[in-house]
Chain A
Amino acid sequence: EAGVTQFPSHSVIEKGQTVTLRCDPISGHDNLYWYRRVMGKEIKFLLHFVKESKQDESGMPNNRFLAERTGGTYSTLKVQPAELEDSGVYFCASSQASGFASTYEQYFGPGTRLTVT
């Protein structure tokens, strides 16, 4: 079974440019999460999809970030325009269930390392 995949693995862009990150969750996982790790800090939650619906986007830093999951399969995270402080590793994770009683763990992808210069 394929795991969570992310593309690209690395991206280097200039301040002001646009970048789109892609995540393909494990097949059959309705729940998809985006997280970010800024250098030296902890991994922080960005948002959570259930199928194509955004359930929790409380972690999105500002309106320069736009996440989509059309059709409830893969997801994209667009940063436009990118700023220096957006540099970090962006992780995607997926899980089978997310309800209060569920015990399903989140499976993580390898991350996309974004560098804004």
Chain B
Amino acid sequence: GQNIDQPTEMTATEGAIVQINCTYQTSGFNGLFWYQQHAGEAPTFLSYNVLDGLEEKGRFSSFLSRSKGYSYLLLKELQMKDSASYLCAVRDRGNTGFQKLVFGTGTRLLVSP
């Protein structure tokens, strides 16, 4: 089956660092995505990992360990605008060989002053 777990909610203060974890079990893994979603808006792409290791993009970094079925999103120098839901999604090959995203329930991050 497919299962993706991430914490429901996290809080942090402005300027701090926060790590959002994601564990997954899927049958046809081909990459892991992190999306950011503000309330009422479209999910927007943050990062993509397909090989083990760390991908850094500005204040955001994402890490993947395929053997452990584990990823994290690291947000540095938090800003108030980072308050949003963060969605972990695994790209699954599915039955047809094409790609579909399997999502976790999302982690709601609240950044306080």
CB-nearest residue of chain A to B100: A45
B98 and A45 contact, CB distance less than 8 A: no
A112-B89 Cα distance, complex, nearest whole Å: 20
A107-B46 Cα distance, complex, nearest whole Å: 11
Contact residue among B31, B93, B104 (Cβ-Cβ distance under 8 Å from A103)? B31
Q: In the complex, how many residue pairs between chain A and chain B have their CB atoms under 8 Å apart?
A: 68
A88-B4 Cα distance, complex, nearest whole Å: 20
B13 within 8 A of A: no
B 26-54 binary contact with A (CB < 8 Å = 1; else 0): 00001101010000111111001010000
Interface size, A (range): 20 to 34
B interface residues, Cβ below 8 angstroms from A: 4, 30-31, 33, 35, 40-45, 48, 50, 87, 89, 93-106
A interface residues, Cβ below 8 angstroms from B: 3-4, 33, 35, 40-45, 48, 50, 55-56, 58-59, 91, 93, 98-100, 102-103, 105-111
